[in-house]
Amino acid sequence: MVKIEITGDTPLETLASLTAFGMHCLQNEDVYAAANRILEAERRDARKVASAATPAPASDPTPGPAETPGPAAPKSGPKAPPTEAPTPPAVSADDAPAPTVAEVRQRGIEASRKYGKEAIVAILQKFNVSGMSAIEEKDRAAFLAELDKLDAEKAGEPDA
């Protein structure tokens, strides 16, 4: 048995993590094809249930308006994996959930390995905290933005 556990501080955060995991998995052609097969089977089952639940219309002796067929229904889902992950809908900073302590620590540790502990300590001092776990929830996004600025600054420097 395979068990995948996805956690978050809020239901929205958990669903966002699950969605990100799914989007990452869809980059693999085998996973994408298997997911399409599952979705197709679910759609067929849903159509069977819907058609079984809908009673047959009683015959009406008065003719009604003629039905004109519309455009053909589109085929369900793409058959090839997307070349790029879909862009999530834009949200304002006020709507976005604050990054978790785990996310902040992970990014901070990565940056520390890349740019040295001193660079991260300097950023932590801007927030008057001694460690990444101590960063207040309201300041976590700003801390990550500082890490992004550090990446941008270091990317612009020529290699020695």
- Measured CA to CA, the distance from residue 82 to residue 47 in angstroms comes to 26
Contacts 24+ apart (CB under 8 A), 145-151: 147/107, 147/108, 147/111, 147/123, 150/111, 150/115, 150/119, 150/123, 151/111
What is the rounded CA–CA span in Å between residue 8 and residue 16? 9
At residue 68, φ and ψ (nearest 5 deg) are: -105, 125
Write the pLDDT tens digit of every residue in 12-68.
888 777 777 777 777 788 877 777 788 788 888 888 888 777 665 555 555 555 555
**Closest of 135, 71, 128 to residue 108, by C-alpha:** 135
Q: What is the pTM of this model?
A: 0.41
**Residue 138 in this model has a pLDDT that exceeds 90:** yes
Instruction: Calculate the CA 2 to chain-centre distance.
Output: 21
Instruction: Please name the residue ranges forming H helices in the chain.
Output: 11-25, 29-53, 101-115, 117-126, 137-156
